[in-house]
Amino acid sequence: MGRPAWLNEEETRAWHAFMAAGALLNRRLDQQLKEGAGISHLQYEILVRLSAAPDRELRMTELADALYNSKSGLTYQITQLEKAGLVHRRSCANDVRAVYACLTDAGQRVLEQAAPGHVALVRELLIDVLTPDQLTAVADGLGAASRRMLGQP
């Protein structure tokens, strides 16, 4: 294996800024959601995905893939949400291996309560800080990186 292509000064600056902003943003969003709605940022994203799905339910494997999470990690989160009455699981009559996560009415209410504060904080901490050109560059650049990691063209 050849020598690594070390990051230059500007690449290092971009990498450190990305890591710091991502960690700080996730920390603040998690804190705000725990204080405001009693759920974590990941649990909020689970509720969002279920709310947007047909019949407010998704197969657990699809949900894990959509969240870029492991099946075991998702199972733990669904168990916590189930204990809180925000989701329930159901088996599939056609495929005994398939399990669906289903959003309850209580889960929908928690999501509706949490969403305004969450969106306001995302806007305050990230969206409104960037110019339209910067926002486009971030979306384009991170989209390209995500596609590469997913093995997509």
Domains of the chain: 22-114 (1.10.10.10)
- By the 8 A CB rule, do 112 and 39 touch? no
pLDDT band (50, 70, 90) for residue 32 = very high
Please classify residue 50 by burial: count the beta carbons closer than 10 Å to its beta carbon, then call 0-12 exposed, 13-18 middle and 19+ buried: buried
Closest CA to 73 of 114, 115, 43, 35: 43
The encoded tokens of residue 141 equal: 């650049």
pLDDT one-digit tens code per residue, 48-63: 999 999 999 999 999 9
pLDDT one-digit tens code per residue, 74-133: 999 999 999 999 999 999 878 878 899 999 999 999 999 999 999 999 999 999 999 999
Read off the pTM.
0.91
Strand partners, 88: 102
